[in-house]
Amino acid sequence: MSEQNRLGVFKTYKLYVGGKFPRSESGRVYEVTDSKGAWLANVPQSSRKDARDAVVAARKAFGGWSGATAYNRGQVLYRVAEMLEGRKEQFAREVAASEGLSKSKAAAVVDAAIDRWVWYAGWTDKIGQISGGANPVAGPFFNLSTPEPTGVVAVLAPQKSSLLGLVSVIAPVIATGNTAVVIASADAPLPALSLGEVLATSDVPGGVVNILSGATAELAAPLAAHQDVNAIDLTGAGAELAKELEIAAADNLKRVLRPLPAEADGPDPSTDWLAAPGTHRLTAFLETKTVWHPTGALGASGSSY
């Protein structure tokens, strides 16, 4: 039987929440098309309640994930790269369709996305050494600063860069032990929803990353106002939305990562996600904890040692 004769099997795209693949609680879907307007899939139109459920899942996962060893998190992130490597072709197809890229460009973007997981996998057990350390206080005290994850982070994924941009914002958030509720690109959510499948098979504990598709503003508003969300990455928000969300985020003093100026002017396809990422996105969602403890003399009589 030739290719042409065989009727393909479509994939039902679902959300990724708490390690499971639910449909939207709303029961609604919306149509996703390729860059030329051809139908690609119906994807879940997530509701505020889906966002709420995702926060619950992310909070539940936070203790275990933040408490895992940095080495373990590095292994898990590296495993994501391995799993993605095995599904390169599928992602290249989805990226090409979503972003209107040539086959070869899409393949290059997927390669970069895989390499980005590897980059961040290596950071998990190094960022603490870079951004923390002992402080030489003027007294008989041991004083140590260590970075700790902020908590549950709402992530507005870039609107244009549907996979590389997405990975570039998720990986740094979870590398340091945060858990994430991700709003996928509204128009190009397929790579994000497929990434959920990769994460589910990569030893990433359920709830560490939760992926929602739908209208960005509609989902972002309840997340920005949510009292159990600790931080928000506004990368995928336009200037006006970003401002609204930053105002809402102030209600519980969420840490806010503002969109890049280029993105703030309107989602900008030219944002160079291929550039070296640096550590900015890692440190944006870290809290510095400083612990003091007396050292004192070896004995009551002082000591010459």
Nearest to 246 by CA among 179, 286, 237: 237
**Smallest distance from other proteins to CB 222, Å:** 17
Residue 22 CB contacts under 8 Å (≥ 6 apart), including other chains? 14, 15, 50, 53
Task: Identify the residue among 1, 4, 294, 305 touching other proteins (CB under 8 A).
Answer: 294
C-alpha dihedral (17, 18, 20, 24), degrees to nearest 10:
-30
> Does 75 participate in binding other proteins (rule CB under 8 A)?
no
**Smallest distance from other proteins to CB 143, Å:** 5
Q: Which is nearer to other proteins, 86 or 297 (CB)?
A: 297
Buried b (16+ CB within 10 A) or exposed e, 190-211: bbbbbbbbbbbebebbbbbbbb
Q: Which is nearer to other proteins, 31 or 297 (CB)?
A: 297
Structure-block tokens of residue 142: 């041991």
C-alpha 182 chain-centroid distance: 6
Contact track, other proteins, 215-244, x by CB under 8 A: ---------------x--------x--xxx
Classify strands 209-212 and 179-183 as parallel, antiparallel or unpaired: parallel
* Residues 118 to 177 in contact with other proteins, rule: CB under 8 A: 130-131, 135-141, 143, 145, 150
> Does 69 participate in binding other proteins (rule CB under 8 A)?
no
> Does 258 participate in binding other proteins (rule CB under 8 A)?
yes
**Smallest distance from other proteins to CB 266, Å:** 14
8 Å CB contact between 160 and 186: no
> Does 301 participate in binding other proteins (rule CB under 8 A)?
yes
CA distances from 145 to 56, 130, 139 (A): 29, 11, 16
> Does 60 participate in binding other proteins (rule CB under 8 A)?
no
**Smallest distance from other proteins to CB 126, Å:** 13
> Does 49 participate in binding other proteins (rule CB under 8 A)?
no
Residues that bind other proteins in the complex, under the rule CB under 8 A: 130-131, 135-141, 143, 145, 150, 230, 239, 242-244, 246-247, 249-253, 255-256, 258, 261, 280, 287-297, 299-302
